[in-house]
């Protein structure tokens, strides 16, 4: 049994690659079904966020890696060389430690950010609901979420943790110095839009406008924060007067292009307009950056805020890393122990059958004996078999602590050959 993760994240791939690989929720089931159809794949799950796309697979062996890469490449319409420049492949123990760190917020751009734990849970629930998980991945995700809860409650890594929307607002403050009296437009009223509005609400804005495809959702969010809902088709017209636009929709295409912004800048007489795109795939055409007076930032431009947050939380990070190391080691020992169970059971069954066969021969040769004598012979044969089994079973169980799966597999194969099992 192998555990494998194939993916890219904010450290290994720029946004233009991540958005190509991004898999929408509506396409997730079809994608996972295609991965599950690969020979040797037992279970699969998908984590696709603004900063990472990862496929988690349990399989008979590592031969599935190449087919999974091909599925990912074809789905994203990327050439092999481009994908391999940014792709990482993790195996077995690396997978466990990685998922524990991801769910705990230790692998995030914004260290300790709280959203990723929920995203991992959603990925788990989605795969489970659609029948994509095998027992091993089920155990892995259960252990991942338990480890993340321990990290957050016992180390305090998530206390007062910042988020991507917080970082976006900090970037806006860095640009303007003071947000008081400014006009802001939020394109998107989902969770990111809601958090952005929440962070903006205390800075004395002149006005905040909320645009969303579902107008009722825009109305609800605008009402909560004293803003005004606008129709999505009126988004461009708001650019004529607004100072900042922050986009966070799930649209798989640009909602504003350079021509839209160019028209707005003419009306604004080139007064500066700042646009922050928090979406992956991106909502705002990168060509907007070339429009005079328009300043475009995307999610990868939040690195300075992320680094400042990381430095402030370094002490808690060390405690979290130590806890994760212990949790991961414990889970790996448990998993390896499960791997040994079939061999132990087959070994016991094989020797028990030998014992019974030989006992029958012995009793026939002995002729009539008392019940007490027969019980003594039975006890003797059972005791001999238990002593023969003792060290092979002990070694199989001890191998669960071995961090190298190939050594555990080699031991199991050797024992099976010695005792003539399958």
Contacts of residue 122, Cβ cutoff 8 Å, sequence gap at least 6: none
For residue 411, report the phi and psi dihedrals to the nearest 5 degrees: -65, -45
Which regions of 127-176 does DSSP assign to beta strands (E)?
none
H or E segment to which residue 316 belongs: helix 314-366
Please tell me the distance from the alpha carbon of residue 89 to that of residue 145, in angstroms, as a whole number. 22
Q: What Rg do the C-alpha atoms of the chain give, in angstroms?
A: 29
DSSP label of 61: S
As to burial, measured by CB atoms within 10 angstroms (0-12 exposed, 13-18 middle, 19+ buried), residue 45 is buried
Q: Which candidate, 270, 265, 267, 245, places its Cα nearest to that of 255? A: 245
61 half-sphere exposure, CB direction, 13 A CA radius: 3
Q: Are 209 and 186 in contact (CB under 8 A)?
A: yes
Q: Are 261 and 273 in contact (CB under 8 A)?
A: yes
Please tell me the distance from the alpha carbon of residue 318 to that of residue 316, in angstroms, as a whole number. 5
Active site residue 50: yes
Q: Are 28 and 123 in contact (CB under 8 A)?
A: no
Q: Which candidate, 161, 231, 163, places its Cα nearest to that of 194? A: 163
Cis peptide before 281 (omega within 30 of 0): yes
Q: Which of 15, 23, 50, 151 is catalytic?
A: 50
Work out whether strand 244-247 and strand 273-277 pair parallel, antiparallel, or are unpaired: parallel
Tokens representing 68 are 């999974």
Distance of CA 315 to the CA centre of its chain: 24
For residue 401, report the phi and psi dihedrals to the nearest 5 degrees: -85, -5
Active-site residues: which are they?
Answer: 50
């Amino acid at each position: 049994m192998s555990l494998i993760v194939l993916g890219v994240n904010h450290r290994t791939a720029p946004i233009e690659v991540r958005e190509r690989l991004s898999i929408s929720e509506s396409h997730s089931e079809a994608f996972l079904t295609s991965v599950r159809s690969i020979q040797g794949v037992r279970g699969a799950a998908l984590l696709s966020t603004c900063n990472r796309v990862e496929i988690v697979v349990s399989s008979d062996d590592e031969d599935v890696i190449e087919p999974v890469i091909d599925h990912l490449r074809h789905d994203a319409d990327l050439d092999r060389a481009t994908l391999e420049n940014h792709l990482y492949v993790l195996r077995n123990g690396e997978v466990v430690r990685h998922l524990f760190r991801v769910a705990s917020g230790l692998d995030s751009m914004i260290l300790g950010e709280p959203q990723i734990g929920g995203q991992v849970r959603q990925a788990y629930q989605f795969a489970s609901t659609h029948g994509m998980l095998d027992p091993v991945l089920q155990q892995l995700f259960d252990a991942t979420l338990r480890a993340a809860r321990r990290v957050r409650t016992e180390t305090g890594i998530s206390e007062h943790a910042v988020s991507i929307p917080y970082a976006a607002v900090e970037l806006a403050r860095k640009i303007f110095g003071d947000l008081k009296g400014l006009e802001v437009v939020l394109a998107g009223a989902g969770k990111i839009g809601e958090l952005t509005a929440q962070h903006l609400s205390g800075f004395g804005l002149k006005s905040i406008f909320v645009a969303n495809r579902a107008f009722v959702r825009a109305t609800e969010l605008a009402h909560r924060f004293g803003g005004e809902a606008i129709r999505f088709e009126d988004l461009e017209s708001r650019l004529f007067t607004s100072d900042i636009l922050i986009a966070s929709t799930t649209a798989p295409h640009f909602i504003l292009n350079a021509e839209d912004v160019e028209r707005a800048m003419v009306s604004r007489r080139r007064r500066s307009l700042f646009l922050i795109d928090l979406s992956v795939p991106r909502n705002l055409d990168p060509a907007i950056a070339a429009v005079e007076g328009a300043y475009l930032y995307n999610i990868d431009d939040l690195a300075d805020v992320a680094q400042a947050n990381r430095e402030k939380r370094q002490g808690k990070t060390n405690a979290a890393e130590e806890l994760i190391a212990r949790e991961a080691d414990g889970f790996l020992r448990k998993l390896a122990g499960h791997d040994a169970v079939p061999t132990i059971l087959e070994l016991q069954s094989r020797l028990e059958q030998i014992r019974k066969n030989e006992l029958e021969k012995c009793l026939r040769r002995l002729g009539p004996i008392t019940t007490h004598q027969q019980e003594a012979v039975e006890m003797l044969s059972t005791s001999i078999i238990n002593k023969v089994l003792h060290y092979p079973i002990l070694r199989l169980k001890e191998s669960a602590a071995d961090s190298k799966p190939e050594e555990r597999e080699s031991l199991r194969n050797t024992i099976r050959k010695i005792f003539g099992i399958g």
